[in-house]
Structure 1
Amino acid sequence: MATLYIVATPIGNLEDITLRALNVLKSVEVIACEDTRHTQKLLSKYEIHKRLIATHAHNEESSAKGIVGLLDQGLDIAFVSDAGTPSISDPGARLVTCVRKAGYDIVAIPGASAFSTLISVAGYVGKTFTFEGFLPIKKGKRTSRLEVLINRDEAFIIYESPYRVLKTLKEIKDIDSKRVVVVAREMTKTHEEIIRDTIENVVDDFSSRSSIKGEFAICICPKAASVEIEEE
């Protein structure tokens, strides 16, 4: 029976791909991907030449039906998102549901994800945390959600674009100016930057910058961590 492989890819540095992921990408007949041009860069580095089909947030349901059709033909297929692990703030979940309903095997090929990479360097010692992903775009809903998350006794992780990151940081500051955050920019890439400080200091830092570039992952630590940094 044909199989769908859900393959995690690097979040920045292409050398972070696993040997197993490479073996799968080399062995399948078709690779479904979020952006064919983006995925082609990874495949070209490792001299992998496969048929690519676009499967992204805007066509995932219709593309999933086409993928089931290819599985019906006995073709093994891999699915990758642009970076990291599919279905985590990325396409993948609808495809998995459709393929599972069709009765085909689905195999996860684990690897990098931005939120787990951030947690590993955040210095957070708690046993639980919330992965929130991207916050609501509308200010009222975003602020309400931040207030709920900040009042929990655990860390939470959000993703943010360079265009909204300063606005989001300021909203966190308005709720609790002494809260400790860990801001990661361009993780695993050449210009990687990881800052751990109070949200007040982080906002001052980013407000003074002439431009803000890159993708962001942010860990907002619980209040206990803020007390610790004040005592240092």
Structure 2
Amino acid sequence: MDLLTPSDAERLHPSGLIYLANVMRPKQDIGRWSQALRQWRPPRTPLRVHLENNSLDEHDAAEILQAIGGDVQAGYLHHNNIRSLEPLTPFIEQHWETLKELHLSHNRLSTTETKALLLLLGCTKVSAAGAETAGSCSWLRLEFNHIDVDGLLEQLPSQIKNRLQLGDRGCTPRHCCCQGRRYTKHIHCKFLTEQRTIMPEHKIHHRDQRREPAPSRSRCQDDEETQDNPKTVT
């Protein structure tokens, strides 16, 4: 892979670890890594893909994930700038039977997007033999998004809501300690109740304005705004 330096190539490990955390700041890096991953021959072992801390939006993340061959067991997408899961849906559907962990905390997901994700991960599919099969994902991290948790739970069908495990019972991605685990395949969403300020859907999906320079303001304007709109810590 001529696209990668020797140190870059070490991030694609024969054990199945793809460690691309905090390496794709410029847009050019996304195209370079996508092309390199298409050329890479993955091992037969399940893959663990680390894309955290890259400020990726949903389209950037989808471009990288769709370039990966092999079966993905865990996807680490936390600490990015993902607002919509629609571009990621083909990846999730492709790895529905192998994807056990999906880390999406510290992004910009709304209640509607989270509901769609849980409907996708929590659905059952009928095999050619007529047997119902549940998805593999049992570890889902969604804290610090913009999710109205109470509203989300009200909207979910009971068969999915009953599978959610929100409390911490000592479970890990590799071992479930929940009662009845032999009969119910739980989806662990530990810390789901820890969220950023809930925002209207249209504001979440609006382009991030923080990168644009703010217009110059007088000190009087700042003082007046502070009095009218005291800051809240989120």
| TM-score, reference length from structure 2 | 0.30
Using CA pairs under 8 Å that are at least 6 residues apart, name the structure with larger relative contact order, 1 or 2.
1
Give the structure with the larger strand fraction: 1
| TM-score, reference length from structure 1 | 0.30
Give the structure with the larger helix fraction: 1
